[in-house]
Amino acid sequence: MGKGRYLVKRLIYIVFVFFIISILMFCIYKATPGDPVRMMIGDTGNIEPERYQTMYDQYAELLGVNKPLYVQYGVWISNMLRGNFGYSTQYKRQVIYVIGTPMLNTLKLNIFSMLVVFMISVPLGIATAVKKNSVFDKAVQVLTIVGYSIPSFVIALLAIFVFAIKLKWFPVGGVRTAGLEAEGLADALDVGRHMVLPVLVMSVGGLGSITRYVRASMIDALRMDYIKTARAKGLKEKVVIYVHAFRNALIPIVTVTTWWIIGLFGGSVVIESLFSWRGLGSMLLDGLMQRDFSIVLAMQMFYVVLSLAGNVIMDIAYTIVDPRVRLDS
Amino acid sequence: MAENKKKKRRKGTMASATERMLVGQNINIEEEEELVTPMQQVVRNFVENKVAMTGMFCFLVILLCCIILPFFFPIDRYYQDVTQANVAPGFGLMTPPKALQGNAMDISAGSTYSVGLDRNGNVYEWGTFPNAKLKKLPPASEMGKLVQISAGLDHVLALNEEGTVFTWGNDRMGLESIPMDLRMGDKVTKIYAGYQVSFALTDRGRLYNWGNEYLVDVRIPKEVQGNIADFEANTNIVMVRTTDGRLVPLTQKASAYTQIPEEIQGHVVDFALSDESVAAITDDGQLHVWGNNVKGTMNVPEELEGTPVRVEGGRYHFVALMEDGSLRAWGDSTFQQNHAPSISEKVVDLSAGYYGSYAIGESGKVYSWGLKGYLMGTDAFGRDVFRRLLKGGRMTLTVGAIAVVISTIIGVIVGGVSGYKGGRIDNLMMRFTEIVSSIPFLPFAIILSAIVGNRVTETQRIMMIMVILGLLSWPGIARLVRGSVLAEREQEFVTAAKSLGVKELGIIFRHIIPNVLTVIVVNATLDFATCMLTESSLSFIGFGVAEPNATWGNMLNSAKDSKVIEDFWWRWVFPSISLAICTISINCVGDGLQDAIDPKSKER
């Protein structure tokens, strides 16, 4: 079986999983207490029951909640696939217009965290693997346990206390300084300043676990016979480590990293709510509080798609880093 | 296999000793080999791992604390007391300054601070101040020599020799506007600072009140005003004793403590109010108590020998001074309010307020008992952080442990069956595992909790969190078990079991699973920490275990506000530290176990 067919098979499977999860989500939402139509109408004061009923029917028609469940699902999923995420009862606008900025904000936060984590953890993991059992290695080992054990919000509280309140280096929360009318570079700098603490906090957990995985798989790789061969050939130690060993160590790293990235997006819910960062996470929480199902559903589907996309990327990455995967035995 | 053994020995001093022996004498190693079973070796490896052992120790300490200490430091789930809100950690609430010792004249216990006067009329303040303005005293030159002082929730009243009243501290809600009548003419004889209200009694038997009028309903009947000999107040009512020894509640609302026994009317010489009850001493030296028996305020000690001459009341306790000069206290014992000391000298003054009591001896020495402070401070509702920390720890650990048990059981069943059966069943189950693990964990848990959590009781909600965590976190363990089972199922003992006709389920769970138990234990340990973290995150953002149940996560909930982070550090520092230490030590243990067992060497 070739590489292409393998990927196609995986893709078909992932689409299948997507539908199963989407049905699951949809069922859960429909089982929610509370009436979205009532929520949307809000307080009307003293209104005649008949007029209220007409109004109710109109809104129900608009939201499409008066049809049977499977029709609602069909309508919803086809709309979803066409990028029509429904009507937000909270913002009184189409969801698609509401989620743009938050999505960008969340992406910014997560991408910067990923960059920070990779730039530090990969070299650190390799260094500790090479100097296995040294004092440096042991110190890093303990630190990484601490890193991935402490809940992110505890680190966040500490960071806010030290860097935002005591030292006043960075703002406590938000995406931009309120009332600041900056453009271009000044605006980017302002956003950047607001981003430092959330990114720092989100990186700590990842730093801990990724460093450990890089170290573990590097140690395994360095034990292999081909490393001895490479050294025996007289290759430079750097080449042996970074080309021969690291490339082979990448396979488990890819797996772990993908799961970590997916978890990162999910975990940013907590960080966003703590730093009042207007991202998808805080939007999800707001939506839940306000019973704005369209928003919640759209957010959830985003997370699902992200997670499945992570799976696909993982598969592709496997075929790149490990040629053996092509022959799906 | 040889590499396997060698690897085990790589660790620790014992192992290196063995290796040295290998070079030396051959006989010794063989003895060593026979003596050490794999399990013993694992235990030895683990014990030698300092990090893991430290983690084990820390975890056990935390676990024992959370299990045992709540019995000694109980806290009611629904307990709240705003008068004790946001008290900083410390035990200085009942420790008067040295300068006052041996020289005290009047002392009054406020909510979380106390004030005192020495014989020269100087003011002393100690404790935790709910309001910074409490420190801003009027200049001493203006006040003259003070003779009486009273501390309220967040304001202080003082009275000088000439009968003039001064107030400082909270100056809102009309507390700063001392009635005109008091400033001219009438000489004040008794003052009382209460919960945002102030009272003053004049020598002509008239009672004046000012401050927040919504909290205490004061209606002074015309026939009483002018005949008042004494008054007492709590957070709900004011009661006065008239010059002819009758008690009159100054309220129109009937309640348990307004049901004054008829037989004592006209004979009352002293009385005191707690929050829910009244104690009165009649002229024949009898003590009468009535009201609601909250926290034992009506359980007067039976061995109340002698006759009481004076009685004072705090929020949930009473203290009586006996004729022989000894003290008796009863009521709530949470903060040792009912542990009156035995004082050798004559007690000249007695005062009780909120959770503390003071007695002043003839020599001017101050004796105090009651709430000395909070080890870790209090939260916004006045709840003791330390006590909630213990309860919260128990909850967090329980939720994490049960969630892990659920996920491990599912994981072992799915992994075991799918690994052993293989083929189509394996494929189906692994696809299912993949679907579950594709579900974004935290958002999904939040949504489930938000949707299901609305219509269940508190206990059901806790169980729901456990189940959600358990149901979402089994895929990892299932994969691991499947992998290990795949490796084990080709071994001879499985073939033997098969040929003996053991049923498939028997083979999987009796023969194979015990062999991969170590892997399961390691993973369950690491999962335990993860589950605790997830529960805390959920509770932190308000979608996990909800108030009034405490968990380490929801104790941190209020710290989303940077004001809390800055001003009330104790409210987030202690839960954070406990949570961090606990998860770090569990991970250290799990890690140590993994190293000790080293499943990787087994695979190879």
Cβ contact B256:B291 at 8 Å = yes
CB B125 within 8 A of CB B119: no
Answer whether A151 touches B (CB < 8 Å).
Answer: yes
Chain A 36-95, residues with CB within 8 Å of chain B CB atoms: none
Worst-scoring range by mean pLDDT, A72-76, B2-6, B142-146, B449-453?
A: B2-6
CA of B143, closest CA in chain A: separation in Å? 40
- Most A-contacting residue of B13, B455, B537, B552 (CB-CB within 10 A), to test interface: B537
| Distance from C-alpha of B135 to C-alpha of B586, rounded to nearest angstrom | 47
pLDDT digits (tens, 9 = 90+) for B184-223: 767 888 888 888 888 888 888 888 888 887 777 788 888 8
pLDDT, tens digit, for every residue of A206-232? 888 888 888 888 888 888 888 888 888
The closest alpha carbon to B168, from B191, B139, B138, belongs to B138
Supply the ipTM of this predicted assembly.
Answer: 0.82
Q: Which two tokens stand for residue A19?
A: 């539908």
Write out pLDDT tens, residues A267-292.
788 888 888 888 888 888 888 887 77
Q: Please, which residues 219-248 of chain A have a Cβ atom closer than 8 Å to chain B?
A: 220
- Nearest by Cα to A274 from A197, A204, A177, A170: A197
Residue A175 gets which letter from DSSP? S
Q: Does B587 contact A145 at a Cβ distance shorter than 8 Å?
A: yes
Q: Measured between CB atoms, does B537 come within 8 Å of chain A?
A: yes
B439 contacts on A by Cβ (under 8 Å)? 21, 24, 304, 307
Q: How far is A102 from chain B (nearest CA, A)?
A: 16
Q: Which of A298-302, B19-23, B484-488 has the lowest mean pLDDT?
A: B19-23
Closest residue in chain A to residue B560, using alpha carbons only: A274
Count Cβ atoms within 10 A of the Cβ of residue A93 and give its class: 0-12 exposed, 13-18 middle, 19 or more buried.
exposed
Q: Is the CB of residue B558 less than 8 Å from the CB of residue B31?
A: no
Q: Does B51 touch chain A (CB under 8 A)?
A: yes
What does pLDDT average to over chain A? 81
What pLDDT sits at residue B62? 92
CA dist A66 and A76 (Å) reads: 13
pLDDT of B408 above 90: yes
Q: How many CB atoms lie within 10 A of CB B457?
A: 8
d(C-alpha B393, C-alpha B73), whole Å: 13
Number of Cβ atoms within 10 Å of the Cβ of A169: 11
Please list, in sequence order, all residues whose beta carbon lies within 8 angstroms of the beta carbon of residue B100, skipping any fewer than 6 positions away: B107, B116, B118, B124, B366
- Position B403 scores a pLDDT of 94
Across the interface, which of A24, A157, A270 has its CB nearest the CB of B572? A157
Yes or no, beta carbons of A146 and B448 under 8 Å apart? no
Query: pTM of the entire structure?
Result: 0.82
* Euclidean distance between CA atoms B68 and B355, whole angstroms: 26
Chains A–B, number of C-beta pairs less than 8 Å apart: 122
- Yes or no, beta carbons of A161 and B529 under 8 Å apart: no
Q: Can you give the length of chain B in residues?
A: 604
Tell me how far apart the alpha carbons of residues A146 and B379 are, in angstroms, rounded to a whole number: 27
Chain A hits for B562, CB-CB cut-off 8 Å, are: 160, 164-165, 172-173
Q: How confident is the model at residue A237 (pLDDT cuts 50, 70, 90)?
A: confident
- Check A164 against B454: CB less than 8 A apart: no
Q: Do A266 and B440 make contact, defined as CB atoms within 8 angstroms?
A: yes
Cβ atoms within 10 Å, residue B2: 6
Task: Give yes or no for A264 touching B (CB within 8 A).
Answer: no
Residue to mutate among A12, A148, A154, with most B CBs inside 10 A, is: A154
C-beta atoms of B447 and A288 within 8 A: yes
* CATH number of this structure's domain A100-321, picked from the four choices 1.10.357.10, 3.10.105.10, 3.40.50.1000, 1.10.3720.10: 1.10.3720.10
CA distance B329 to A33: 53
Residue B9 has pLDDT above 50, yes or no: no
- Looking at residue A39, what is its pLDDT? 66
- DSSP secondary structure of B41-79: HHHHHHHH-HHHHHHHHHHHHHHHHHHHHHHHS---TT-
Pick from B48, B50, B472, B560 the residue to mutate for testing the A interface (most A CBs within 10 Å): B560
Please list every residue in chain A whose beta carbon sits closer than 8 Å to the beta carbon of residue B451. 28-29, 31-33
Q: State percent of chain A over pLDDT 90.
A: 1
Where b means 16+ CB within 10 Å and e means fewer, A128-164 reads bbbeeeeeebeebbeebbbbbbbbbbbbbbbbbbebb
User: Considering only alpha carbons, which residue of chain B is nearest residue A220?
Assistant: B600
Distance CA B263, CA B374 (A): 43
pLDDT exceeding 70 applies to what percent of chain B?
A: 92
CA–CA separation, B107 and B454 (whole Å): 50
Give the separation between CA A287 and CA A273, rounded to whole angstroms.
13
If we measure between CA atoms, which residue out of B423, B578, B403, A179 comes closest to residue A171?
A179
Place of tokens 């109004």: A55
Burial string for A1-15 (b: 16+ CB within 10 Å, else e) reads: eeeeebeeebeebbe
- All structural domains of chain B: 51-69+383-601 (1.10.3720.10)
Pairing relation of β-strands B308-313 and B317-322? antiparallel
Does A160 reach chain B within 8 Å, measured CB to CB? yes
Give the span between the Cα atoms of A27 and B448, in whole angstroms: 11
The nearest CA of chain A is from the CA of B285 a distance in Å of: 59
Cβ separation of B562 and A160 shorter than 8 Å?
yes
Q: How much is the pLDDT for B63?
A: 92
Query: Which sequence spans correspond to the domains of chain A?
Result: 2-94, 100-321
- Give me the pLDDT at residue B1, please: 39
Tell which residue, B363, B391, B544, B542, has the closest CA to residue B467: B544
For the cut 90, the answer to whether the pLDDT of residue B600 exceeds it is no
Greater model confidence, B483 or A35: B483
The band of B586, judged by pLDDT with boundaries at 50, 70 and 90, is very high
Q: What is the pLDDT of residue B5?
A: 44
- Name chain A contacts of B556, Cβ cutoff 8 Å: 153-154, 157
Instruction: Tell me B98's DSSP state.
Output: G
Give which of A29, A30, A33 is closest to B447, Cα–Cα: A29
Q: Please give the average per-residue pLDDT across A163-181, as a whole number.
A: 79
Closest chain A residue to B574, measured at CA: A154
Helix, strand, or coil (residue B170)? coil
Cβ of residue A20 closer than 8 Å to a chain B Cβ: yes
Which residues, 6 or more positions from B73, have their beta carbon under 8 angstroms from its beta carbon? B384, B386, B387, B390
Amino acid in position A297: L
What is the nearest CA distance from A19 to chain B, expressed in angstroms? Answer: 11
> Would you say residue B407 has pLDDT above 90?
yes
Question: Is A288 an 8 Å CB contact of chain B?
Answer: yes
Beta-carbon contacts of B193 under 8 Å, excluding residues fewer than 6 positions away, are B108, B110, B150, B151, B152, B153, B155, B156, B157, B167, B199
**Angstrom distances, CA of residue B87 to CA of B235, B443, B601:** 20, 36, 55
Separation CA B401–CA B406 (nearest Å) = 9
Percent of chain B topping pLDDT 90: 9
Q: Does the pLDDT at position A179 exceed 50?
A: yes
Distance CA B108, CA B111 (A): 10
Tell me the two tokens of residue B254: 């009937």
Average pLDDT over residues B451-475: 85
- 8 Å CB contact between B595 and B49: yes
Cβ-Cβ contacts under 8 Å, A265 against chain B: 440
Given an 8 Å threshold on Cβ–Cβ distance, is A165 in contact with B562?
yes
Per-residue pLDDT at B13: 54
CB contact under 8 A, A173 and B562: yes
With CB atoms and an 8 Å threshold, state whether B529 touches A270: no
Residue B591 to residue A145, Cβ atoms within 8 A: yes
Which of B443, B533, B584 lies nearest to residue A303, judging by beta carbons?
A: B443
User: What are the tens digits of pLDDT across the range B36-95?
Assistant: 777 777 888 888 888 888 999 999 999 999 999 988 888 888 888 888 888 888 888 888
Q: What is the pLDDT of residue B585?
A: 92
CA–CA min distance B448, chain A (Å): 8
Nearest to A266, CA basis, from A179, A196, A205: A205
A271 contacts chain B (CB < 8 A): no
Alpha carbon distance A5, A13 (integer Å)? 12
More confident residue, A94 or B116: B116
Tokens, residue A80: 């979803």
Residue A235: per-residue pLDDT: 85
pLDDT at B409 over 90: yes
Cβ–Cβ contact B13 with A under 8 A: no
Contact B38, B1 (CB under 8 A): no
Residue A30 neighbours by CB distance under 10 Å: 13
Flag whether pLDDT at A191 surpasses 70. Answer: yes
* A77-126: pLDDT as tens digits: 888 788 777 777 777 778 778 888 888 888 888 888 888 988 898 889 88
The confidence band for A328, taking pLDDT boundaries of 50, 70 and 90, is very low
Instruction: Give the pLDDT mean for B523-541.
Output: 89
B361-371: pLDDT as tens digits = 888 888 888 88
* Residue from the list A31, A263, A285 with its beta carbon closest to the beta carbon of B441: A263
Nearest C-alpha in A relative to B575 = A154
Is B7 a residue whose pLDDT tops 70? no
How close, in Å, is residue A146 to chain B by CA atoms?
A: 6
Report the distance separating Cα B600 and Cα B580, nearest Å: 29
